[in-house]
């Protein structure tokens, strides 16, 4: 390095509150690494601003890093650009169709993208993922995973181009398709078969859909129309039923070649295959010229089946995006358009669940997190290893887009706090499919005398969905505009807290003195009875004393591990309800006999004598 340059890294240390939210450990977190002149480093400061992540992410993007703001602490001093920064990131699902870029957003929310010069680096002796870029301005930086863009230029002599993201997809431009060299930019969004199956399961009207091709996004030079049709080839998986039928026919054909007596069966199967081919699948091209016009079915485009599940067709005009749909039988165009809209929406969404678990050792500590439905089992297992368990069970799944928020608050006799002080506030989780949104909260009862007829304090966590469009674009306070809480809640989860016995600290000089001298022998009698009944493991419910059931529940909570004390407290409460004129000894003997303890009733009579 040049002697006037030195390499330093900035570490952003969370306050104690954010440490609890992120990891519960008192350690700093690396915001970024900066390589710049020493004089510039002295005037730079960076800060992690993950609360603003909804403002920096767009559709088809996935946030894979912290959101970091880098600014100059002294505006009178100029920064000698360019400087290098490296942002740590974690990307679980890369694939051939996606790429890692650094997104730079300025104060007016205008963004541009930088291609990293490197995606790996060292922190100490550990090799980690860092997106390193050269920057010419300060702002808000984030690492994104997005669909990979493929760019090429079509010369006047034509071009046959196979895409690097998927070599099965090709575009063939005949000579003189364009009057001058034309740049083309493409992106490919693969469609998982499970996504099509999910849409079909939700809506029976899409039962005819067998499979789809990938969603292809194209940008041609709009000033130049096509002079000749462009041939597009791409994969669209065949009907698995037809494939099995073909394999079955080939198997019969092999047997019939060696065993003559099954020749008739062979002809029958061959006839079946021939008829099956006549009733072939239908292929439809859907696309839109621009987003304003929306999706359209191009019935005049003839799509041909090629080998190995490939299909090809000719385009006579520019389409911004298109998809091929394979149908087992004809479907109305209106339903096809609805399917294409649903498909495009589902590609940008992730099915997610809210998990709210309590710590087994301390039920006053809870964790709330958003988990992708496909990772739910793994996330639950991880929480169990940390000591968190239900109930409640996770919510039913629901769709979330990148950057959408889940706001929640507690109702009933339970409220929560993130820092142990400010209870009763609204909490939020920002969804990013490759980052695990999570909050660790402390809960307690609102009214310690509430829910008096229940052994638990009861409350409900109410969850609301806040879309990116509902969030005010302000760096300082990116909160939803308007009151969203009048809307129907997205989900609700019930929550309980066990009641605990209140300990009363009395001075040592304080003594309990009975106001009635006759109470003293009764106290010893009831203590003796409690010990005798507890020795036989007698349940409170089997004793036939006229006391309320709620009292028995309260005594079990008050002395959960001391049956003798439970019975003694119950006998004392029963005795206090008797009028002064009552024959306590006779009544006590009667209830003991009704409880099946004639032996104790007889001993009581002898003891009293």
Write out pLDDT tens, residues 274-288: 344 334 789 999 999
Mean pLDDT of the chain, nearest integer: 82
pLDDT-based confidence at residue 210 (cuts at 50, 70, 90): very high
What pLDDT score was predicted for residue 268?
A: 38
Measured CA to CA, the distance from residue 44 to residue 70 in angstroms comes to 7
With tokens 């041909």, the residue in question is 304
For the stretch 173-205, pLDDT in tens is: 999 999 899 999 999 999 999 999 999 999 999
Assign 229 to helix, strand or coil: coil
> Given a cut of 70, is residue 262 above it in pLDDT?
no
Last residue of a domain, one of 98, 113, 147: 147
Co-location of 294 and 312 in the same domain: yes
CA–CA separation, 62 vs 100, rounded Å? 10
| Same-domain pairing of 445 and 559 | no
Q: What is the pLDDT of residues 296-331, one digit of tens each?
A: 999 999 999 988 899 999 999 999 999 999 999 999
Answer whether residue 332 is part of any domain: yes
Domain count along the chain: 4
Confidence bin at 122 (pLDDT 50/70/90): low
Beta bridge partners of 458: 496
Specify whether the backbone of 167 is left (phi greater than 0), alpha (psi in -120 to 50) or beta.
Answer: alpha
- Domain end position, chosen among 347, 367, 394: 347
Lookup: tokens for 322: 């298109």
CATH of residue 598: 1.10.533
Assign residue 481 the CATH number of its domain: 2.60.40.2660
Q: Nearest 5°: phi and psi at 143?
A: -100, 130
Task: State whether 126 and 23 are in the same domain.
Answer: yes
Closest among 92, 79, 15 to 42, alpha carbons compared: 79
Residue 263 lies in a domain: no
Q: Which two tokens stand for residue 129?
A: 């993922």
Rounded (10°) CA dihedral 576, 577, 580, 584: -80
Residues 87, 139 contacting (CB under 8 angstroms): no
Give the list of residues 6+ apart from residue 60 with CB closer than 8 angstroms, or none: 146, 147, 189, 347, 348
* pLDDT-derived band at 143, boundaries 50, 70, 90: very high
Residue of 430 and 591 predicted with greater confidence: 430
Return the CATH number at 76.
2.60.220
Q: Are strands 5-12 and 282-288 parallel, antiparallel or unpaired?
A: unpaired
Asked if residue 378 and residue 341 are part of one domain, the reply reads no
CA distance 193 to 44: 48
**Whether residues 25 and 109 fall in one domain:** yes
Model confidence at 528, pLDDT cuts 50, 70, 90, reads: confident
Q: Report the distance separating Cα 436 and Cα 144, nearest Å.
A: 15
Instruction: Name the residue with tokens 């911004």.
Output: 320
- Do 138 and 210 fall within a single domain? no
Residue 264 has pLDDT above 70, yes or no: no
In a domain, 318, yes or no: yes
Q: Do residue 14 and residue 141 come from a single domain? A: yes
User: For residues 73 and 152, what is the distance between their CA atoms, to the nearest angstrom?
Assistant: 43
Q: In 3-state terms, what secondary structure has residue 219? A: strand
Residue 255 has pLDDT above 60, yes or no: no
Task: Report the pLDDT value the prediction gives residue 8, as an integer from 0 to 100.
Answer: 41
Q: How far apart, in whole angstroms, are the C-alpha atoms of residue 286 and residue 336?
A: 8
Say which DSSP state 392 is in: S
Please tell me what DSSP assigns to residue 386.
H
Question: What pLDDT, on the 0 to 100 scale, is given for residue 259?
Answer: 43
Q: For the ranges 13-27, 28-42, 43-57, which has the lowest average pLDDT?
A: 13-27
* 377 secondary structure, DSSP code: H
DSSP 594: H
- 77's tokens: 């001093």
Residue 145's pLDDT band (cuts 50, 70, 90):
very high
Boundary-marking domain end, from 97, 119, 147: 147
User: Based on the domain organization, do 384 and 398 belong to the same domain?
Assistant: yes
Same domain, 103 and 82: yes
How many residues does the structure list for the chain? Answer: 609
Task: Tell me the DSSP string of 171-201.
Answer: EEE-TTSSSS-EEEEEEEE---HHHHHHHHH
CATH at residue 217: 2.60.220.30
If you write DSSP's letter for every residue of 64-79 in order, what string do you get? -B--EEEEES-TTSPP
CA distance 238 to 241: 9
Judged against a pLDDT cut of 60, whether residue 525 lies above it is answered with yes
Asked, for residue 513, whether it belongs to a domain, the answer is no
Give residue 31's pLDDT band: very low, low, confident or very high (50, 70, 90): confident
Per the domain annotation, does 271 fall within a domain? no
Domain contains 394: yes
Same domain? For 429 and 368 the reply is yes
> Are residues 154 and 142 located together in one domain of the fold?
no
CA distance 416 to 443: 4
Q: How confident is the model at residue 506 (pLDDT cuts 50, 70, 90)?
A: low
pLDDT at position 609: 63
Q: In the chain, what percentage of residues exceed pLDDT 90? A: 51
Q: Which long-range contacts (C-beta less than 8 Å, at least 24 apart) are formed by 176-179?
A: 176/227, 176/228, 177/226, 177/227, 177/228, 177/230, 178/154, 178/221, 178/224, 178/226, 178/227, 179/224, 179/227
Sign (positive/negative) of CA torsion 494, 495, 501, 507?
negative
Please classify residue 421 by burial: count the beta carbons closer than 10 Å to its beta carbon, then call 0-12 exposed, 13-18 middle and 19+ buried.
Answer: exposed
Tens-place pLDDT, residues 369-419: 999 999 999 999 999 999 999 889 999 999 999 999 999 999 999 999 998
Strands (E) across 280-320 are located at: 282-288, 296-297, 304-305, 310-315
Residues 105, 136: Cα–Cα separation, whole Å: 12
Average pLDDT over residues 555-565: 81
Q: Give me the pLDDT at residue 499, please.
A: 85
Q: How far apart are CA 394 and CA 391, in angstroms?
A: 8
On the CB side of 273, CA atoms within 13 Å amount to 17
- Please determine, for residue 257, whether its predicted confidence score (pLDDT) is greater than 50: no
Copy the structure tokens of residue 480: 């939803």
In a domain, residue 157? The reply is: yes
**In sequence order, what are the beta bridge partners of 456?**
498
- 557, two tokens: 């909570």
**In 10 A of CB 334, how many CB atoms?**
10
pLDDT of amino acid 185: 94
3-class SS of residue 16? helix
Q: Which residues pair with 313 in a beta bridge?
A: 232
The answer to whether residue 511 is domain-embedded is no
Supply the pLDDT for residue 15: 26
What DSSP string runs through 243-278?
A: HHHHHHHHHHHHHHHH-GGGHHHHHHHHHHHHHHHH
pLDDT value, residue 156: 92
CA 609 to CA 17: how far, in whole Å? 69
Domain coverage including residue 51: 5-147
395 in the same domain as 340 = no
Within 10 A of 224 (CB to CB), how many other CB atoms are there?
Answer: 15
- Output 484 or 529, whichever has higher pLDDT: 529
Secondary structure string (H, E, C) spanning 544-589: CCCCCHHHHHHHHHHCCCCHHHHHHHHHHHHHHCCCCCCCHHHHHH
Question: Collapsing DSSP states into helix, strand and coil, what is residue 123?
Answer: strand
Beta strands (DSSP E) in 347-489 are 349-359, 365-372, 388-389, 398-401, 405-412, 414-417, 427-430, 438-445, 456-466
């Amino acid at each position: 390095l040049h002697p006037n340059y030195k390499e330093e890294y900035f570490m952003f240390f969370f306050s104690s509150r954010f440490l609890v939210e992120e990891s519960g450990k008192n350690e700093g977190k690396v915001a970024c690494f900066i390589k710049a002149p020493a004089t510039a480093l002295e005037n730079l400061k960076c800060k992690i601003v993950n609360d603003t992540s909804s403002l920096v992410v767009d559709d088809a993007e996935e946030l894979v890093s912290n959101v970091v703001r880098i600014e100059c602490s002294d505006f009178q001093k100029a920064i000698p650009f360019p400087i290098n920064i490296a942002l740590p990131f974690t990307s679980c699902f890369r694939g051939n169709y996606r790429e890692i870029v650094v997104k730079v957003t300025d104060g007016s929310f205008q963004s541009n993208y930088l291609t990293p010069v490197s995606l790996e680096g060292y922190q100490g002796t550990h090799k980690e993922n860092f997106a390193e870029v050269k920057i010419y301005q300060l702002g808000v930086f984030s690492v994104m995973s997005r669909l990979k863009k493929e760019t090429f230029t079509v010369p006047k002599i034509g071009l046959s181009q196979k895409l690097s993201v998927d070599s099965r997809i090709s575009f063939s431009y005949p000579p003189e398709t364009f009057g001058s060299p034309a740049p083309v930019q493409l992106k490919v969004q693969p469609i998982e078969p499970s996504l099509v199956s999910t849409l079909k399961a939700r809506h029976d009207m899409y039962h005819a859909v067998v499979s789809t091709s990938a969603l292809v996004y194209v940008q041609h030079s709009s000033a130049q129309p096509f002079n000749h049709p462009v041939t597009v080839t791409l994969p669209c998986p065949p009907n698995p039923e037809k494939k099995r039928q073909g394999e079955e026919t080939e198997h019969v054909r092999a047997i019939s070649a060696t065993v003559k007596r099954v020749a008739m069966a062979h002809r029958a199967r061959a006839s079946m295959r021939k008829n099956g081919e006549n009733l072939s699948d239908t292929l439809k091209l859907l696309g839109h010229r621009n987003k304003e016009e929306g999706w359209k079915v191009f019935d005049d485009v003839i799509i041909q089946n090629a080998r190995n599940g490939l299909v090809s067709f000719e385009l006579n005009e520019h389409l911004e995006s298109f998809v091929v749909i394979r149908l087992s039988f004809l479907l109305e165009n209106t339903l096809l358009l609805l399917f294409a809209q649903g498909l495009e929406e589902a590609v940008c969404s992730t099915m997610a669940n809210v998990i709210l678990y309590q710590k087994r050792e301390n039920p006053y500590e809870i964790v709330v997190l958003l988990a992708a439905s496909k990772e739910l089992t793994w996330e639950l297992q991880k929480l169990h290893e940390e000591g968190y368990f239900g109930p409640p069970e996770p919510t039913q799944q629901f769709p979330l887009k990148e950057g959408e928020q889940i706001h929640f608050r507690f109702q009933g006799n339970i409220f929560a706090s993130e820092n142990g002080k400010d209870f009763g506030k609204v909490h939020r989780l920002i969804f990013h499919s490759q980052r695990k949104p999570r909050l660790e909260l402390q809960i307690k009862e609102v009214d310690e005398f509430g829910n008096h007829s229940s052994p638990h304090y009861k409350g409900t966590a109410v969850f609301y969905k806040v879309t990116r469009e509902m969030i005010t674009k302000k760096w300082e306070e990116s909160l939803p505009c308007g009151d969203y809480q009048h809307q129907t809640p997205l989900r609700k989860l019930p929550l309980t807290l066990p009641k605990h016995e209140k300990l009363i600290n009395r001075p040592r000089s304080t003594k309990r003195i009975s106001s009635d001298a006759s109470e003293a022998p009764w106290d010893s009698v009831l203590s003796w009875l409690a010990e005798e009944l507890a020795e036989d493991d007698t349940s409170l419910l089997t004793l036939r004393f006229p006391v309320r059931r709620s009292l028995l529940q309260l005594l079990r909570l008050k002395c959960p591990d001391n049956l003798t004390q439970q019975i003694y407290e119950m006998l004392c409460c029963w005795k206090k309800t008797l009028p002064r004129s009552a024959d306590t000894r006779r009544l006590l003997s009667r209830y003991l006999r009704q409880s099946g303890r004639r032996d104790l009733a007889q001993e009581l009579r002898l003891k009293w004598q």
